Amino acid sequence: MAKAKKAAPKKSAKKTTAVKAASKGDDFRAKSADELNSQLSNLQKEQFNLRFQRANGQVDNTGRIRVLRRDIARIQTVLTEQRRAAQAKG
């Protein structure tokens, strides 16, 4: 004897508008090249210090290394975009 499956209740076709949260890339794009270069320098110094701490086994938050590496890459990408946009204009 096979049991008959109950029909699932129909979901309403309600449309929801998704609001996109601002990403880190968008935050970086809003800054000037000078601000980005300053922030890039600070992140690279922090990364340098964390590399030494990791080598000595003193690093507390190992996930921070990954976050720094990705933020550095994001900033470098935005700086490249800005340079290319400036070249295209002039």
Look up the domain containing 81 and give its range.
40-89
Residue 65 clears pLDDT 70, i.e. is over it = yes
pTM over 0.95: no
Q: Comparing 66 with 17, which gets the higher pLDDT? A: 66
Number of domains in the chain: 1
Per-residue burial over 12-33, b = 16 or more CB atoms within 10 Å of its CB, e = otherwise? eeeeeeeeeeeeeeeebeeeee
The secondary structure of residue 31, as a DSSP letter, is S
Helix (H) or strand (E) holding 30: none
Is 48 a member of any domain?
yes
**Is 70 inside any structural domain?**
yes
Question: pLDDT by residue (tens digit) across 18-51?
Answer: 667 778 889 999 999 999 999 999 999 999 999 9
Instruction: Give dist(CA 57, CA 59) in Å, integer.
Output: 6
Structure tokens at 48: 């340098």
Is 12 among the domain residues? no
d(CA 33, CA 19): 28
